[in-house]
């Protein structure tokens, strides 16, 4: 499944979290702050659950929760590539904070990779009065309807993959045009000093693993809640 469509949440709230990068203890504290109710609320992720932070090995446990929904980020893709083709791709993953995966036992590694391999490239959420999309980096050609059709047909192009997982132009340029077919799109990938809206795209990576903040955004009332990085989440890696 390359796109996952979620029905409207009529019982509770939907929250979207920026790039986690293994800072799951920080995320747990944030969920306590917002009084997250797993029986009614849902947590959506813009991807990059793993690498660089201290608790990357916990990604599989979080993905097993029925209230947690994530898209694939470039770091999940690097982890999968490293295990599928270690001779060509493992060094790149290790260089980008992937040592945790190499250090896991075989059974735990296989379970984590299985969870990552099932991550869709996009989430589409029905909300009152519209539609919200979630991808890791950006939407190809600013056209959600065409993207969704390609993902449903399981035939995205290599360029689509590149834009969905790696694009930074919108974040670096302060805009890139409105994405048609959704009312709001949420992304991560490129750290920002704070959550910022360019066009109709909300950027939620606020650099938690680099000593910034971990940010949550509520789809029901557009409330933003963030928590400064804790000491154990500080990383000494160059951004890639």
Q: Give the chain as a DSSP string.
A: --EEEE----SS-EEEE---TT-HHHHHHHHHHTT--TTT-EEEE-S--SSSSTTGGGHHHHHTSTTEEE---HHHHHHHHHHHSHHHHHHHHHHTT-HHHHHS-HHHHHHHHHHHHT--SEEEEEETTEEEEE-SS--GGGBHHHHHHHHHTT---HHHHHHHHH--HHHHHT---PPBT-SEEEE-SS--SS-EEETTEEE---BGGGTSEEEEEETTT--EEEEEPPGGG-------
Looking at the domain assignment, is residue 44 inside a domain? yes
Which CATH number is 65's domain given? Answer: 3.60.21.10
User: Which residue is it, tokens 């694939």?
Assistant: 72
Cβ atoms of 49 and 70 within 8 Å: the answer is yes
Looking at the domain assignment, is residue 77 inside a domain? yes
Assess whether 75 carries a catalytic annotation.
yes
Task: Write down the pLDDT at residue 230.
Answer: 61
Looking at the domain assignment, is residue 175 inside a domain? yes
User: Which residue is it, tokens 């077919």?
Assistant: 181
Segment-wise mean pLDDT, segments of 10 residues, the chain, 240 residues: 96 98 96 98 98 95 97 96 86 92 92 95 95 98 98 97 98 97 98 97 97 96 88 43
Task: Write down the pLDDT at residue 85.
Answer: 85
Looking at the domain assignment, is residue 240 inside a domain? no
Q: Which among 21, 75, 136, 189 is annotated as catalytic?
A: 75
Residue 220 neighbours by CB distance under 10 Å: 13
Looking at the domain assignment, is residue 155 inside a domain? yes
Looking at the domain assignment, is residue 136 inside a domain? yes
For residue 149, give its domain range. 3-233
Looking at the domain assignment, is residue 14 inside a domain? yes
Count of structural domains within the chain: 1
In sequence order, which residues have a C-beta less than 8 Å from that of residue 90 and are 6 or more positions away? 82, 83, 98, 102
Task: Write down the pLDDT at residue 86.
Answer: 82
Looking at the domain assignment, is residue 239 inside a domain? no
């Amino acid at each position: 499944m390359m796109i996952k469509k979620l029905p409207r949440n009529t019982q509770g709230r939907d929250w979207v979290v920026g790039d986690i990068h293994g800072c799951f203890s920080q995320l747990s504290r944030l969920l306590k702050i917002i009084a997250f109710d797993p029986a009614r609320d849902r947590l959506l992720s813009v991807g990059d659950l793993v690498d660089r932070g201290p608790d990357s090995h916990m990604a599989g446990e979080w993905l097993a929760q029925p209230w947690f929904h994530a898209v694939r980020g470039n770091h999940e893709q690097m982890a999968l590539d490293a295990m599928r083709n270690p001779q060509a791709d493992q060094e790149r993953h290790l260089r980008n904070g992937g040592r945790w995966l190499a250090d896991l036992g075989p059974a735990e590694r296989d379970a984590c990779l299985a969870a990552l391999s099932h991550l869709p490239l996009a989430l589409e959420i029905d909300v009152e009065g519209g539609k919200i999309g979630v991808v890791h980096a950006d939407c190809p050609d600013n056209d959600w309807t065409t993207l969704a059709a390609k993902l449903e047909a399981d035939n995205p192009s290599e360029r689509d993959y590149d834009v969905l997982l790696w694009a930074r132009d919108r974040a670096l340029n302060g805009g890139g045009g409105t994405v048609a077919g959704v009312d709001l799109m949420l992304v991560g990938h490129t750290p920002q000093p704070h959550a910022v809206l360019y066009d109709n795209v909300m950027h939620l990576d606020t650099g938690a693993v680099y000593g910034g903040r971990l940010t949550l955004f509520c789809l029901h009332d557009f409330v933003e809640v963030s928590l400064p990085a804790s000491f154990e989440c500080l990383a000494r890696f160059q951004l890639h």
